[in-house]
Every structure is written in structure tokens, then in C-alpha cells.
Amino acid sequence: LKMVYSFIEGNAKMKALLGGKGANLAEMTRTGLPVPPGFTITTDACHAFFKAGNRISEDLQQQIQLGLKQLEREKGQIFGDPSHPLLVSVRSGSITSMPGMMDTILNLGLNDETVKGLVALTNNDRFAYDCYRRLIQMFGSVVMGIEAFNFERLLIRLKKNLGVGQDQEVTADGWRQLIAEYKLCVKAYSGVDFPQNVYDQLKLAVEAVFKSWHNHRAQVYRKINRIPDEQGTAVNVQSMVFGNMGDDCGTGVVFTRNPSSGENALFGEYLINAQGEDVVAGVRTPQTIETLNDKLPEIYDQLERVCKQLEQHYKDMQDIEFTVENGKLYVLQTRNGKRNAQAALKMAVDLVLEGVISREDALQRIEVSHLDQLLHRGIDESAVTDVLAVGLPASPGAAIGVVAFDADTAEEWHKSGKQVILVRSETTPEDIHGVLAAEGVLTSRGGMTSHAAVVARGMGKPCVCGCEGVRIDLQARRMFAGERIIEEGDWITLDGVSGRVIRGAVPLKEATVTNELLQILQWADQTRKLRVYANADNPEDAEIARGFGAEGIGLCRTEHMFFAPSRLAVMQRMIMADSLEERKAALDQLLPMQQFDFEGIFRAMDGLPVTIRLLDPPLHEFLPNANELQQKLQSTDSEEEKAQLQQMIRKVNALHESNPMLGQRGCRLGIVYPEIYDMQIEAIFKAASVCMDEGVAVHPEIMIPLVGDASELRILRELVDDVAEQVLSADKNGENKYKVGTMIEVPRAALTARQIAAHADFFSFGTNDLTQMTFGYSRDDAEGKFLSHYLDKKLLPHNPFQVLDSEGVGQLIELAVTAGRALKPTLKTGICGEHGGDKDSIAFCHQTGLDYVSCSPYRIPMARIAAAQAAI
């Protein structure tokens, strides 16, 4: 098995075998760029090394010798030769870039004899001994495991004794003295001498780099970035070039475009007369790359050409390490450069306009999760000092405000002109006015699909939820984050992208919808197959959604229309009613309110479909909780109020269910209390009628929630058709004037989709409930209780409430789509759970052939791009 490849043998496609760095070094060598020659030891060799109990086989050893021989011929130098010594670096190079996580050793091949050869060759003893002491220091810490500070301490003492501040001021004699001390240090801490045999040096260095795959920081980095532990690393052995031989030498890093603005101009830093780690270690302040044009103009010109060439070759912005040795430029490494969201968009659009990449390439390159940074306000990172806790990043954007612990306080303070952050252990529909008044919401309990998360996302407000690092003491009106105390009224900042809760008011940066984003979105629209709808519950959100490019409303949760305080009271009256008459009287009051909202939504969505879901949540959600009522009861003296409270408590108790999410909700409500759905349907058709008279093109699609059996949909569809018959005049009630469909969110509905399709014009997958019921995980509690442990232990690849579980829940969706369409080929299908705004879930929807995805208004640009990416 071939385990050693010279740089002239490989190419960019061999990443899996040669690692990213090795493959790119080979590619650059192949295209004639000035790369110091060398060879790569493969990832296969790494696997064999681990398998053999961290031992280098005879075979590999021989192949390394042969690689070295070839390198000696290319360079005209010999490894370990006192007159013409070859020096090499040994660097890790994994398949996926893991910057700085593994080990590197420079200047291998120096010993007491060869260092003299280097002095003679370069006529520079200061330089040669500096290289040698660096080798002992690096080798000692990386290979022999001696703590780096043992060497640092000796260096500091030396400089103090010599009375100098900078490393460059140390003389050759000084370095020689330090080398003697370093050798003693190695012996003292490891029990053996620093190896004078250069082949031993090389072998030990290669072993150390392989082993560094398993060091702690590399393991952590892989976990965070989801890089498989099995990959292993390649090792690159490369001949050294020196940036520290004098003033016509230097080393630096350059980006071919500006990684924070995207501007097409070189961006980088360098140091004259220095070696790579000096730039990284920050011992000297590097200079900006433009000044290289004054210092070494020819090198600068050449560097510019190399940058152009590499960018054209890789068709992307490059991050390049270079060294200048005695006026000659060498490229040590190139890789696709990291960039921020705005720069990424600009570069992608520019590269298309420059003819370097296609529109499809540009779309593929957009990291949709980064769009959150652009479409919402963000925080000024440099001003973050005190992170109190980190919760779930439930709704993106950043917000500052003073802490308010209940909705009424939040509303009151907002009215008096304050910015507030609503902080609750969890929110309920009762808190909605507080959410509305707040800049952002923080909860200590509840997951990504909790009430607070869903509502905040819908409103485009930043939200951090399930933040168990804060404990709220409602009585004392304060919260605790570890030892720290935040009083009600204190300023905090929320970052809904990272989930951080920060003490104080951190300055915010405004969102920017740039021309580049608009361009990318236009290309996305020309590419995608999926339509993108919005989840929107009121005219304002509908308008925002349309502004972001929504092609319809996929979910209007009508219960949200009842949460405004004035309406909630009527709703509660309706629920409390003892007789049908009483209930109807309350419903009569609710009807015009709901009709008014529907009219606004229809106008905003003129010409586009509007999917309206009839009432879904269990009724107890509209009532205060029993404990609060009991407290109020205790504290009131008014007999009348007492009686009212007692009645409400009786009702709350009567509505109590052990498993409300599996209880009296969804279509079950509509079947038990048909007058409620009756009122809602009437409001929809009256609104439609008014709007049609105004010339608005109305396309209502009435959606029945939580259906589990075809009979439920059958009788509710009859109800819709009856009301339409009564409310709509003949000219407005023709064929295809409205649609009736169902949510598929109970597993049984998916399993019996064929029967259900008989009564449905469309299926909309409610994947929040479908996930909850398929897994049997409570969507409100699972995250805080056991799901995070499952994810830590890798029992599940993702949180299934965020990323659609294509294996299980997805199977139900596929089954239902196939069965439904078999009966009714024109059946319209879509998804309206929170997954509709998730990139991987959108890809699944595209593959499954759904017609649309529906997500909160602010996620629409992201969904348009994700849908295009899925279609490429």
C-alpha cells in the first residue's frame, strides 16, 4: 500500500487520502506555483498507526526514507548532512480543516553538527542557532510532552540577563547558551537527551502529529464541528524555507479578498525577518499587506499574481500562508478563506459577475444559517463582557432592555417609553401582550417549539429559551445566574443567534438587506421548485412576509387572534358559558373581531392563497392557571369577584386534563363545540366576501387541525360547505373558490392518508405535533429534561424538533404524500411546522416532492435559498 506521496504526485481531488493541506500543496505544485518541495504521509497510514497501537510500521518507515531521498535530490541537500543539511517541517493536515488544533514541528534535521553547516551555508550564526533553539523548544513540548512554560521561563531569564527586550536582539552566543540550558531542561523533565539522530527526530515527530489527532482540543473541536473521529490526519513533511534570515526575508498571511467586507482587494499581514509562529504568537505586531508594496515591491507584485492564480484555480477566495526567503517568494499553504455573512454574499455575487463561477455555484456557497446575521440586528461582539448564561437560540436577532418579570409590567414600562426584555420561566398565551411590548423574550424553561419560541419567531423578536442557567425568583423580583443577581429593571442583552444572555446594554448593529442579497434571492427564485409560504397570524405579519417574498400563507393560527386583552375576556366568557345561548352570545362578539383580522390578511395577500387553521389549542390555555386564581381569591374582599373567581376555578378544574396535548384540542374541539368552528368559518367567508367586493383576489384555504380519522374531516368539511352556502352569494361560491384541507400531525392521519385525502384538497404537515407524537416526546418538556442528554450522548443526530427526522417522521410524510396523491393526483401538499424554516428539512421536503414549505416571515429569505440549494 502506497502511504507516502510526493507533492508532485497528488492533486486537489485526493483530499480524503492526503488531507486538505496535502492535497492543496500537491495541487499548487502541479500548477507550477513556488511551493517548497515535500511529501505527504496518508490518512491510511494514520489509521494503520492507530490500529497497530500507535506504532509506525517497517513498511511506512521505508516509504518515508524513500520520500526523503527524493526530497534530498530535489533540494540538493541531505538530511543530517553537516555540510548541506536539509531541514524539514512536519505538519498535520486533516481532511476537514481544524485550524491550530493539532501539532506542528519546524526545523527538524538540526543537531549539534548540522547547525554548524547551516551557519556556514547562510553565513548567519545568529539565525542558525535561533532555529536550533526553536527546534528543541517545539520538539520538547510537542513530542516529549514537556510543559512549554519550562522553556519560556529560561528564555525570559536569558533576555533579562542579557538586558534585552526582544527575541531579535539576542545574539548567537545568547542562543548557544540557551540551547545548552534547553538540553538540560529536556533531560531533566523527560529523562532522555534531545535526539541528535535526525531520523529519530523525524520518526518521533510523525508519531506525535498522528497522536495529536486525539488531543483534547482536537476532540472538542471535532465534536463542535461534527467532524467524524474516524477520519484521522495526514502528515506533511516539507522542506523548510526561512523568513528569518534577514531583511529580504519575511512571512505572512494574505486573503485574496477582504473577509469581512468581501471587497476584491488583498487583505493580510506580514512580518519582515520572522518565522511563522511569530505572526501567530503576537510577539511582534505585524504590518498590513499593502505596506509590503513599499518594502519589497517585486515580491508584492508576485504575491498579487499568485493570489489571482490561486483564486481562479480554486474559484473561491483563498487564505494563503507565504514566506519570503532571501527575496524569493514561497507559498506554504492555501485554503478557502473563512468569511462573514455579508462578505460571503458579496464574493459569491462578484465571482458570478466576473465569470469565475456559475449562479448555481454561488447559491450552493451561501451558508443559510448565516443569513440570520444579516436579516436581524446583531450585537457588537467587542462590547460583550459578562455572559450570564446561554440558552437555546430560539429566535434570531439581538435585543436590549430592562428586565421585567411579568407581562403587565413589561407592557406598562413599554408604554412609558422603556425598552424591556420579558423574562419568564415560560410564557403562556396569557403573556402575549408582554411579548408584544418586549424587545425580546427570555425563558428559563421550554424548548425550540415552546410557546415563547413560536410566538417570538412569528413576531421576528429575539428569543432565548430553555435557559436553565438563570433562576427566577418571582417573589423577590430578581433572577440569579450562578452567583450573580439581576434585579427587575436592570439592563440585559439577548443574542437570539447564539443563545447568550449578557449583562448590561451591549451596542447593537442594524440589519442590512444588501443588493447582493437581493441578487442571490432572485437567482434562488429562478432555481427552486418548492413554493415558500409564511406562517402569519395578523395583517402586519402578512405584509412583512410578503415583503420577504412569501407566495402565500401556509398557516394562520387563529387562536393568536384571541390573545389581545380585550378579546381574551370575550374568549374566556365563551369558554365559561354554561349554556349554548351564552356561548353563542360570546361567539357573536368574537366574530367581527376575527372577520376584521381576516380582511386585513386577505388584503395583504391579494392574489395569493391564505391557509387559515381553525381553533387548535386546548381551551384551558385561554384561562389563568388554577394557582394564580387561588391566590387572587385569597387576596380579594369583594364578594362579587370571589364568586367570579370561584366559578373560573371550577371551570379550570373541569377542563383539567392529564395529557392536554393529547386531549380536547384541534378538530376534537370543533366536533364537540361545532358553534366555535361555525363562527370562525363564517368570519372567514364574510371577510372573503367583503374583500372580493373591493376587488381583492381572495383564495381562502380552510385547514382542520389534528385529524386522526377520515370521519373527522368528513363532518367538518360538511360544516365548511354548509356555512359557505349560507354566507357566500352564488357568484362567490362557485367551483374552486375556496379549499378545505387538513393538517397531518397525528401519526394515524399519515397512516390512513388515502381515506383522509377523499375529503381534503390539501395536506399540510404539522411536523411539531407529528414529531411529538411519533417520538412520544413532549414538545414542551423534552429539551429541558432528557433530549439534551440524548444529543450529548449522540443517541440522536439532531434535535428532532429543529431538524426533521427524515428516517422516522419523514417516512410518515412520504407515505401520506404517496397515498394521498394516489387517490387524488391534484392534492396540494406542504409543511407548516417549525421545520419549514430549517435548511435540512427543506431539502427533505424538496426530495419528497411537496409543493411548499411554510415558515415564519423572517425565515423566508433563508427558505428561498435553501429550497434553491435543494433543487441544484
Residues acting as catalytic residues? 451, 832
| Out of 768, 802, 829, 848, the residue judged to bind ligand PEP by CB under 6 A | 768
Rounded to 10 deg, the angle between the 539-547 and 580-604 helix axes is 30
Q: Of Mg ion, ligand PEP, none, which one sits near residue 516, judging by CB under 5 to 8 A according to partner kind?
A: none
Torsion of CA 204, 206, 208, 212, to 10 degrees: 180
829 binds ligand PEP (CB under 6 A): no
Q: Choose the one of ligand PEP, Mg ion, none that binds residue 559, judging by a C-beta under 5 to 8 angstroms depending on kind.
A: none
DSSP state of 737: S
User: Which grid cell sits at 295?
Assistant: 518594502
Please identify, among the stretches 119-127, 382-390, 764-772, 811-819, the one whose residues bind ligand PEP according to the rule CB under 6 A: 764-772
What is d(CA 420, CA 737) in angstroms, rounded to the nearest whole number? 45
Tell me how far, at minimum, the Cβ of 709 lies from Mg ion, in Å. Answer: 17
CA dist 509 and 705 (Å) reads: 40
Contacts of 815 (CB under 8 A, 6+ apart): 750, 751, 753
Q: In the block, which residue shows the cell 366555535?
A: 676
Q: Does 767 bind ligand PEP (CB under 6 A)?
A: yes
822 vs 688: CA distance, rounded Å: 32
Least Å from the CB of residue 673 to ligand PEP: 19
What is the contact mask toward ligand PEP in residues 555 to 594, using x (rule: CB under 6 A)?
x-x-------------------------------------
CB of 812 to ligand PEP, least distance (A): 13
Residue 141 or 767 with smaller CB distance to ligand PEP: 767
Q: Smallest distance from the beta carbon of 691 to ligand PEP, in angstroms?
A: 25
Q: Which does 774 bind (CB under 5 to 8 A by kind): ligand PEP, Mg ion, none?
A: none
Q: Which is nearer to Mg ion, 174 or 766 (CB)?
A: 766
SS3 471: strand
| From the list Mg ion, ligand PEP, none, partner contacted by residue 279 (C-beta under 5 to 8 A by kind) | none
The burial class, CB within 10 Å (0-12 / 13-18 / 19+), for 798 is middle
Residues 378-417 close enough to bind ligand PEP by CB under 6 A: none
Query: What's the min distance (Å) between Cβ of 811 and Mg ion?
Result: 19
* Pick 63 or 768: Cβ nearer ligand PEP: 768
Q: Taking the C-alpha atoms of 829, 835, 838 and 842 in order, what is their torsion angle to the nearest 10 degrees?
A: -20
Phi, psi of 572 (to 5 degrees): -65, -35
Q: Are residues 790 and 796 in contact, defined by beta-carbon separation less than 8 angstroms? A: yes
Q: What's the chain's Rg over C-alpha atoms?
A: 34
Chain residues binding Mg ion by CB under 5 A are 745, 766, 769
Q: Choose from ligand PEP, Mg ion, none: what does 555 bind? Cβ within 5-8 Å by kind.
A: ligand PEP
Q: Which does 557 bind (CB under 5 to 8 A by kind): ligand PEP, Mg ion, none?
A: ligand PEP
- Please say whether the beta carbons of 704 and 714 come within 8 A: no
Residues 717, 700: Cα–Cα separation, whole Å: 14
Q: Which does 833 bind (CB under 5 to 8 A by kind): Mg ion, ligand PEP, none?
A: ligand PEP
* C-beta closer to ligand PEP: residue 337 or 617: 617
Which residue in the set 103, 130, 439, 616 belongs to the binding site for ligand PEP (CB under 6 A)?
A: 616
Least CB distance to ligand PEP at residue 842 (A): 15
Residue nearer to ligand PEP on the CB measure, 307 or 832:
832
Strand pairing class (38-41; 233-239): antiparallel
Applying CB under 6 A, what is the total number of residues that bind ligand PEP? 10
682 or 805: whose CB is closer to Mg ion? 805
Shortest distance, position 770 Cβ to Mg ion, whole Å: 8
Phi–psi pair at 393, nearest 5 degrees: -80, 80
Q: How far apart are CA 71 and CA 39, in angstroms?
A: 8
**Which one of 198, 467, 702, 832 is in contact with ligand PEP (CB under 6 A)?**
832
CA 712/CA 758 separation, integer angstroms? 12
SS (H, E, C) 92-104: EEECCCCCCCCCE
In the complex, the smallest distance separating the C-beta of residue 705 from ligand PEP, rounded to whole angstroms, is: 7
Single residue of 396, 766, 784, 810 touching ligand PEP by CB under 6 A: 766
Which lies closer to ligand PEP via its Cβ, residue 333 or residue 611?
611
Distance between first and last Cα of the chain: 38
**Residue 150 near residue 185, CB atoms below 8 Å:** yes
Shortest Cβ distance from residue 615 to ligand PEP (Å)? 11
Which CA distances in Å does 455 have to 376, 435, 440, 462, 781? 17, 8, 11, 10, 17
Nearer to ligand PEP, 401 or 741 (CB): 741
Q: How many angstroms separate the CA atoms of 774 and 809, rounded? A: 6
Binder among 833, 837, 857, 861 for ligand PEP (CB under 6 A) = 833
**Run of H or E including 629:** helix 626-635
Lay out the site mask for ligand PEP across 707-746 (x = CB under 6 A, - = otherwise). Answer: --------------------------------------x-
* Residue 601 CB, nearest approach to ligand PEP (Å): 17
Task: Please list every residue from 145 through 174 that binds ligand PEP, using CB under 6 A.
Answer: none
Burial readout 589-611 (b: 16 or more C-beta within 10 A, e: otherwise): bbbebbbebbbbbbbbbeebbbb
**691 vs 782, beta carbon nearer Mg ion:** 782
The piece of 602-610, 707-715, 767-775, 837-845 that touches ligand PEP (CB under 6 A) is 767-775
User: Smallest distance from the beta carbon of 426 to ligand PEP, in angstroms?
Assistant: 16
805: contact with ligand PEP by CB under 6 A: no
Q: Are 609 and 701 in contact (CB under 8 A)?
A: yes
Q: How far is the CB of 836 from Mg ion (least distance, A)?
A: 12
Choose between 644 and 664: whose C-beta lies nearer to Mg ion: 664
Within 10 angstroms of residue 110's Cβ, the number of other Cβ atoms is: 28
Binder of ligand PEP out of 769, 780, 783, 838 (CB under 6 A): 769
Set of cell numbers at residue 828: 396540494
- Position of cell 415583503? 547
> What is the Cβ-side half-sphere exposure of residue 228, based on CA atoms within 13 angstroms?
5
Grid cell, residue 279, equals: 505572526
Bridge partner list, 494? 399, 501
Residue (of 655, 657, 630) closest to 645 by Cα position: 630
Q: Give min distance, CB of 651 to Mg ion, in A.
A: 24
Q: Which of residues 743-762 bind ligand PEP (CB under 6 A)?
A: 745
User: Which residue has the CB atom at the shortest distance from Mg ion?
Assistant: 769
User: Which CB sits closer to Mg ion, 325 or 769?
Assistant: 769
Q: Indicate the helix (H) or strand (E) that contains 342.
A: helix 341-353
Which of the listed partners (Mg ion, ligand PEP, none) does 832 bind, with a CB threshold of 5 to 8 Å by partner kind? ligand PEP
495 binds, among ligand PEP, Mg ion, none (CB under 5 to 8 A by kind): none
CB nearer to ligand PEP: pick between 279 and 706 = 706
| DSSP secondary structure of 489-504 | T-EEEEETTTTEEEES
Binding to ligand PEP (CB under 6 A) within 503-562 occurs at 555, 557
Closer to ligand PEP at the Cβ: 311 or 430? 430
- Residue 79: phi and psi, rounded to 5, are -65, 120
Cell numbers describing residue 57: 510500521
Binding interface with ligand PEP (CB under 6 A):
555, 557, 616, 745, 766-769, 832-833
